[in-house]
Amino acid sequence: MVSLNDSALEAIRPALENPGLFGVRVETFHGATMLDFGIATPGGYTAGLLFSNTCMAGMGQTWIGSADYGAMALPTIHVASGAPSLALMASQYAGWAISKGKYFAMGSGPARALKGDEEIFKHIPHKEISQTAVLCLETSKTPPKEVIEYIFAKTGVAPGGLYILMAPTSSVTGSTQISARVVETTIHKMHTVGFELKDIIAGCGSAPIAPVSPDGMEAIGRTNDCVLYGGSAHITVDCQPEFLQEKIGQIPACASKDYGRTFKELFAQYGDFYKIDPLLFSPARVSVANIRDGSFHTAGKIGADMLARSFGARQ
């Protein structure tokens, strides 16, 4: 049986053995191994790749290149996985809202599979068993002792078995790992509109990496816009041709009523992240190949002008 957490531990081992090489700091805190990828350390693109690969439990690949988006040349992360249900939904998806006292962070990574109580796990035929838990946090603060104890209780591992990766949105690591979710957001959106996870065979995609902003809200806006207006995903499925034909137009971000404004503008309008249309959270452009009949479908388009607006690009 595949252990997502054991696989993730192997993925993070280079940072554990040589943290300085990745701009990472490693320390032990209340029985947990804490890996700082950008709070009090520089982090960077290689740290972002390592964070992303670990978040996918080592069951995906990432690499960085450059691509043109209108007049802008931007660093771009490419992602691929042949095990999308496990790597992306059971691991990378940020489905654990960790809220205790005054502390809040979104949790992803395979520790979620040990907790196992999210709705998405009802659709994934996997039972995680491991003495190791690997949790990835989008946060600008190290969790306090009571949060560490809460995570131990929820995952069921013993002291020494918990590894927590931390990266703030306002960091190069944070920008990189968020854009690395471009395929994950696609598959989650497909599941939301009715696709069975078992019918999704493989996925790959790319998204620009947002320029870092020290303003937390602006950083959240830019990183989301990179997927919404710059993300592109290609998914291979095995499903009924008529179903795919009916659903393809619902997958990209442009299917949402909130499409056409930057994330920062939407947040200013609603004042609450959870009031934004959840159907917005998917890539700008999607293509789907159906191996059942050989058909190929595309929907959506890249919005380079929206990216420039989000970044406040100057020439």
Q: Does pLDDT of 145 surpass 80?
A: yes
The pLDDT, as a whole number, for residue 19 is 96
- Angle between the N-to-C axes of helices 263-270 and 216-230, in degrees from 0 to 180, rounded to the nearest 10: 120
Q: Which of 42-46, 174-178, 180-184, 269-273 has the lowest mean pLDDT?
A: 269-273
Q: What fold, for 4-311?
A: 3.30.1030
CA neighbor of 165 nearest in space, from 212, 92, 94, 109: 109
CA neighbor of 116 nearest in space, from 131, 103, 128: 128
The pLDDT, as a whole number, for residue 149 is 97
Per-chain mean pLDDT for the chain: 96
What are the tens digits of pLDDT across the range 24-53? Answer: 999 999 999 999 999 999 899 999 999 999
pLDDT tier for residue 267 given thresholds of 50, 70 and 90: confident
Averaged over 237-252, what is the pLDDT? 98
Q: Which long-range contacts (CB under 8 A, 24 or more apart) does 237-240 make?
A: 237/195, 237/199, 237/200, 237/201, 237/288, 237/289, 237/290, 237/291, 237/292, 238/199, 238/201, 238/290, 238/291, 238/292, 239/195, 239/196, 239/199, 239/290, 239/292, 240/292
Within the chain, residue ranges assigned H as helices are 4-17, 45-55, 84, 111-115, 145-155, 172-179, 182-192, 216-230, 241-247, 263-270, 304-311
Q: Does pLDDT of 228 surpass 70?
A: yes
Percent of all residues in the chain with a pLDDT value above 70, rounded to a whole number: 100
Using CA atoms, how far apart are residues 12 and 162, in angstroms rounded to an integer? 13
SS3 34: strand
Using CA atoms, how far apart are residues 138 and 97, in angstroms rounded to an integer? 10
Q: And the tokens for 72?
A: 């802008």
What are the tens digits of pLDDT across the range 88-102? Answer: 999 999 999 999 999
The pLDDT, as a whole number, for residue 42 is 87
The pLDDT, as a whole number, for residue 87 is 98
The pLDDT, as a whole number, for residue 159 is 96
Q: Which of 120-129, 199-208, 251-260, 267-276 has the lowest mean pLDDT?
A: 267-276
pLDDT tier for residue 314 given thresholds of 50, 70 and 90: confident
pLDDT tier for residue 313 given thresholds of 50, 70 and 90: confident
The pLDDT, as a whole number, for residue 315 is 66
Using CA atoms, how far apart are residues 92 and 108, in angstroms rounded to an integer? 5
Q: How far apart are the first and last CA of the chain?
A: 54
Q: Does pLDDT of 205 surpass 90?
A: yes
